[in-house]
Amino acid sequence: MQVAKVIVDVPSRQTNIPFSYLIPDNLSDSVTVGMRVQVPFGRRKITGFVVELSDHSDFDGKLKPIEALIDLTPVINPELMDLAVKMSQTTYSFLISCLQTMLPGGMRTSFAKRITAKSEQVVKENDWLFQGKSSVEINPSTTAESTTKKLLDLNKSDEIVVDYVLKRNSSAIEVLGIKATMTPEQLDKQRGLIRANATSQHKLLNVLSEQNNAKLLQSDLVKSGISASAIKSAIDKGWAKQIKIHQNRNPFMQPVKQTSALKLNVAQQNAVDKVSLSIDERDATRFLLEGVTGSGKTEVYLQSMAHALEQGRTALMLVPEITLTPQIVNRIRSRFGDQVAMLHSAMSNGERFDEWQRINRGKAKVVVGVRSAIFAPIKNLGVIIVDEEHDSSYKQSDNPRYQTREVAKFRADYNHCPVVFGSATPSLESRARAQKGVYQLLSLPKRINDQVLPKVDVVDMRQELKNSGSLLSAPLQEKITEKLSRHEQIILMLNRRGYASFLMCRDCGYVPQCPNCDISLTVHKNSHSLQCHYCGHQEPIPTECPMCHSKRIRNFGYGSEQLEEQVKELFPDARTLRMDVDTTRKKGSHERIIDAFANHEADILLGTQMIAKGLDFPDVTLVGVLNSDSALQFPDFRSSERTFELLTQVAGRAGRADKVGEVVIQTYNPNHYAIKFAKTQDYEGFYQKEMGIRRLGKYPPFYYTIKITGNSKNENTVMTRMVALTSYLKEHLSSKAIVLGPTPKMITRVNNQYYYQIIIKYRFEDQLQSALNRILNDSQKLKDVQLSIDNEPLDFM
């Protein structure tokens, strides 16, 4: 008997165990661990991952056979299989979720329900469903309840057959395009029929007649300034027809010039030597590479990776979400050429699938990517680089809540290779480990070419408030004027957390709240609506106060939109660019804004955090942080660390070329240590001070932490359950463990669900994992409260 143990694609606690299936004879040679299979499960058909092959099963019932193979080669290799199991244990999440997150998005398969009528009569009677066809496909997750009921009836009366068809939503390599249907002569005549000022349509006519036989990509046309509506009207007017183009995807836009290794300074050379030695000796040393912006960390990464390749091994480099710009990728590709594969969230599903496939086939020797790239199926790793290791995007915020740094260590152990964690402002956890000798510390103390650090001014906004109340302090305004007159560029950053603009009645103080959540609604000017950032609720902006009917209901607080308005008022001649979630929502718009600013199409770039990181504009000589301390307002133990990090990062943006940069930090807490150390760019000073505070507060890195969140639509139910959990935990953990709570979350109600949390702080608790698993299992039965566990949460909020 040949049996495959399968983890089925049903994310629930009861199905979080392998199910046994018979391997039919025709598949007996092909089924391997790590492949996905199609199996019957109850009445349904679903996908699953083969996790083990065996000659027997412990299940007493009758085994069903595997129906089909989805993959011809394993998609999860043995290393990743081990990792998935370990990860599901440490993150308290389902094994199936871990396996799924390892695959590139778009490779997920799902089943569509196919409804087939048993007779012509049935088709006719149910035109709402069949619309003349004898068989239709239905997506189970988007089917309305009323439809489901009707289908059930039809099924009962034996009028239809329901089965399932596999839907593979990967690699849709088809993109929209158009092709001319008229000859150039005919197109010429069309010119007379459209308005002279319809520039977009004229342009399109030119392109159509010049490239009369070509298949034109819609995205290329839009890029060259032809509007989508012009394309649409071209199709309507019969100039061209819409076609689907099979595109050979290549995520790298242009070819890059080959570059070679740069000369290293003493500290850099030392770092490269240490890492190389560790690669040669195949030991899984963890390095912490600490060096300020401009100290040449990237060159150390590149030469370490080059060394791994020389030894016939491979390299994996991780960068934070927003830092993975074409600039960075090109720098890596210029060194390693076509052996580089890139995995980035801004790529399309299809592009990522292609890159993943190249890696899985062993065609790529270097992988560069964001968080999820840590699961790239690259074999024979020689070195792993985690750049900006403190960055919060390395922790996944939903299940499985893994920390990329920890996954990197697992893979390093498995491959016997070193990991290099690099940062100008390392996380306290990593820096403390370096202190204890768990990580090996490598320092790059000097900036390349002995560039001077920018000059940082701190402006006390409490004084400024008395004077004007403007967002921009007088000293900052002066500096902006000065830089503008010299045609130098400026970056203004607004830390938007908690500073979104809301509506308030000037007469009675009423602030519109979200009906589903405990939070005020945010004003969105461009869509002219009030929106809730937590549940997505939208409503129109009222013209009068619903409470007191006053007309004096106005914006309050500052968003980047308000900032832009104010800047335009104060500096009418300056050209501004805004970069925030609103202006970067569309794919590629992020790059477009960066390029535009780099090309001096604007004098002032303003926006939120995302402009702080990784960008390199040599002509920026002034950076202003308008509300540097808004993070400090948050009651969270990491708020100082975040503030310091952010300010240090932004300061690094100013004056990287020959010009000395200036930084203006506006704050209401000029005496806060995070601000003071940021002013002098003194990471080590900050580290010492912050460690003292963490020790006193029994926070990480002195204690490990776990956050348990519970939610329910009834506030009392969650509260009682969480109180019970707290006493259970106190009973089952040692007296040294600290169990805090339960406390309502800062925003207690979201989407009409009430959220409460418990924090556990501990050092050594061997009973913890089993206690938490028991809690999760029990909560399966009592499903009035939803529980989720976050191991080493980023915040306690």
Partner DNA sequence: AGCACGCCGACT
Partner DNA sequence: GTCGGCGTGCTC
| 14 touches DNA by CB under 7 A | yes
Q: Does 11 bind DNA (CB under 7 A)?
A: yes
Q: Using CA atoms, how far apart are residues 502 and 637, in angstroms rounded to an integer?
A: 27
Question: Does 40 participate in binding DNA (rule CB under 7 A)?
Answer: yes
Task: Note whether 709 binds DNA by CB under 7 A.
Answer: no
Q: Which amino acid is at 532?
A: C
DSSP for 411-463, written as a single string:
HHHHHT--EEEEESS--HHHHHHHHHTSSEEEEE-S-GGGPPPPEEEEEEHHH
CB of 712 to DNA, least distance (A): 14
Count the Cβ atoms, other than its own, within 10 Å of residue 68: 13
167 in contact with DNA (CB under 7 A): no
Q: Does residue 24 touch DNA according to CB under 7 A?
A: no
- From the list 37-45, 359-367, 603-611, 629-637, the region that binds DNA by CB under 7 A is 37-45
Q: For residue 522, what are the β-bridge partners?
A: 502, 531
Starting at the edge strand found earlier in the chain, the sheet holding 44-54 runs 19-22, 3-8, 44-54, 36-41, 68-69
- Of the listed pieces 61-69, 84-92, 347-355, 630-638, which binds DNA according to CB under 7 A? 61-69
55 vs 120, beta carbon nearer DNA: 55
Q: Which stretch binds DNA (CB under 7 A): 7-15, 368-376, 458-466, 548-556?
A: 7-15
The CA-CA-CA angle for residues 548, 554, 557, to 5°, reads 125
- Closest approach, Cβ 40 to DNA, in A, equals 5
Minimum CB separation of residue 131 from DNA in Å reads: 22
Report, in Å, the least distance between residue 557 CB and DNA.
Answer: 38
- Which two structure tokens, joined as six digits, stand for 515? 């009906």
3-state SS class at 553? strand
Q: Looking at 36-44, 398-406, 617-625, 700-708, which segment touches DNA (CB under 7 A)?
A: 36-44
CB 6 to DNA: min, Å: 8
Beta-carbon contacts of 93 under 8 Å, excluding residues fewer than 6 positions away, are: 87, 399, 400, 401
Selected from 26, 131, 141, 146, the binder of DNA by CB under 7 A is 141
Helix ranges (DSSP H) in 284-325: 297-310
Do β-strands 215-217 and 522-524 pair in parallel, antiparallel, or remain unpaired? unpaired
Beta strands 109-117; 44-54: pairing state: unpaired
* Binding flag, residue 15, DNA (CB under 7 A): yes
Angle ∠(751,143,152) on CA atoms, nearest 5: 125
Q: Is 10 in the site for DNA (CB under 7 A)?
A: yes
Site membership for DNA, residue 63 (CB under 7 A): yes
Instruction: By CB under 7 A, tell whether 26 contacts DNA.
Output: no
CB of 235 to DNA, least distance (A): 37
Tell whether residue 140 is a contact of DNA (CB under 7 A): yes
Q: Does residue 112 belong to the site contacting DNA (CB under 7 A)?
A: no
Minimal distance in Å, beta carbon 517 to DNA? 22
CB of 62 or CB of 486, closer to DNA? 62
Q: Which residues pair with 317 in a beta bridge?
A: 368, 385
DSSP category for residue 574 = S
CB-based contact 280:210 (threshold 8 Å): no
Residue type, 524: H
Kindly state the smallest distance separating residue 786's Cβ from DNA, in Å: 9
Written as six digits, the tokens of 712 are 């329910």
Residues 6+ apart with CB under 8 A from 773: 92
The interface region with DNA, picked from 33-41, 307-315, 668-676, 740-748 by CB under 7 A, is: 33-41
Q: Does 399 bind DNA (CB under 7 A)?
A: no
Smaller CB distance to DNA: residue 142 or 526?
142
Which one among 31, 35, 36, 41 touches DNA, defined by CB under 7 A?
Answer: 41
Cβ-in-10-Å burial (0-12, 13-18, 19+) of 764 comes to: exposed
Question: What phi-psi label fits residue 217: left (phi over 0), alpha (psi between -120 and 50 degrees) or beta?
Answer: beta
505 is annotated as contributing to ligand binding: yes
514 is in an annotated binding site: yes
- By CB under 7 A, which span of 42-50, 503-511, 556-564, 601-609 interacts with DNA? 42-50
Q: Which residues bind DNA (CB under 7 A)?
A: 10-12, 14-15, 19-22, 39-44, 57, 59, 61-64, 113, 140-141, 149, 152
